[in-house]
Amino acid sequence: MTASTLTTARTFLDDLTQVVEGVRAGAVRRDRERQYAVAEIDQLRELGFWSLTVPVEHGGLGLDQETLVQAVLLVAAADGSLGQIPQNHFMTVERIRLTAAPGQREHWLRVLGAGAVLGNASAEPGERPPGESASALHGGPGSWRLTGRKVYSTGALLADHIAVQVRDPSGAQRTVLVPRDADGVVVHDDWQSMGQRTTASGVSEYHEVAIDDIAVLDHPGDPVATYRVSALGQLVHAAIDAGLAEGAVGEALALARTVHGGRGSGAREFGDDVLGVALLGELRVTALSARRLVESAARRLAALEQDSSLEEVADVFYEVAAAKLASTRAALTATAGLFEVGGSSSTRPELGLDRYWRDARTHTLHDAARWKPFAIGRWLIAGDVADPWSIAHPFRPLGELEQQVDHAGPASDRSAS
């Protein structure tokens, strides 16, 4: 990161910190009343948040993954629902930067540099992997039509465009960028969950939607690009969980300054309850450890070059997996632990502190964390690489994947510069 870029990043994060205070102030009300953060999303747009990783020459801030995770940590610590919405947005930006054809890359980075927000439409009923999507693209260049139905369409209700994962007539996987207000697009406001209640998600349907050629993005077979995009997606997930952990620890500290010592401690003030103070310290260590792993993984991901080897990319991919595992554990531990600090009075509904645990419990079910230690161990002992979507089965030997790198097309078309 150059000196000028570092200054831009610091200025951006300082400005974001101020905006986040307003985000935090309304988070309990939005969660309770299931109101979307419409004004807050626009505030983030004005700040350049949504174009954070878009190159400067395309109108963005031109910042890297290190700044991205700092930004997501800040937002998620204040509002776990709003913190979720950027995940698929930035993953799709990364896909465009790394894999889009030159003309498409130029077009969409200009759109994103102007502040467009991308929603997500990947998941389908029955937990189909992306390559088995029932949503389909029909026709051909100049006459594309999209049909399908998606669940968990995060951010789609408030997005400018929705990134829809589909299969084309040949069976190949594509990403289609669909205007939210296009004819034939229906997004249902039907997301129901105990946590992350305001992620602007729901079932989305696509009824013979006309698609421009420039909106149909290929998924090149280059595993280097595939694992870099996957790593970015998982990294943002990890930052969300680490942010929730930090938000919970902040609330625990505020409670510790007002509540009494725990029964049996013999202490009137919490500060004199030695086991309570030690618990607060443990929560801080847990959250800080997760943050540092997320930051380390972000630095390594940002340091990858256009010509980085698949082995190097895979190793970074697994560091991201480790950060995701640590942040999952930290989020669940810290969001439950704040009530150990606060005691019974901290469970009063008007405080809204339960939103941290509900958001963490909901978000950490996104993928099976229990498989990550096995996947990491298998990489260490056998050099096998997990599936980029499941972060587990099916595993493939690194050597087998390396055979695909030379057949993926010109790398210059996928420059992340």
Helices (H), 189-273: 223-256
Q: Which amino acid is at 208?
A: E
The H or E element that residue 218 is part of is strand 216-218
The fraction of the chain above a pLDDT of 90, given in percent, is 93
Phi–psi pair at 385, nearest 5 degrees: -110, 130
pLDDT tier for residue 132 given thresholds of 50, 70 and 90: confident
- CA–CA separation, 280 and 283 (whole Å): 5
- CA–CA separation, 78 and 100 (whole Å): 34
Q: What pLDDT does 128 receive?
A: 82
* Residues 386-407 pLDDT 10s: 999 999 999 999 999 999 995 4
Q: What pLDDT does 406 receive?
A: 54
pLDDT tier for residue 25 given thresholds of 50, 70 and 90: very high
* Residues 259-276 pLDDT 10s: 999 999 999 999 999 999
16-40: average pLDDT: 98
Cβ(228)–Cβ(304) below 8 Å:
yes
SS3 209: strand
* Residues 139-187 pLDDT 10s: 999 999 999 999 999 999 999 999 999 999 999 999 999 999 999 999 9
Q: What pLDDT does 331 receive?
A: 98
Cβ(58)–Cβ(112) below 8 Å:
yes
SS3 18: helix
3-class DSSP string for 14-54: HHHHHHHHHHHHHHHHHHHHCCCCHHHHHHHHHHCHHHCCC
Residue 312, phi-psi category: left (phi > 0), alpha (psi -120 to 50), beta (remainder): alpha
72 is written with which tokens? 């997501």
Q: What is the residue-averaged pLDDT of the chain?
A: 95
* Residue showing tokens 């979720």: 84
Prediction pTM value: 0.96
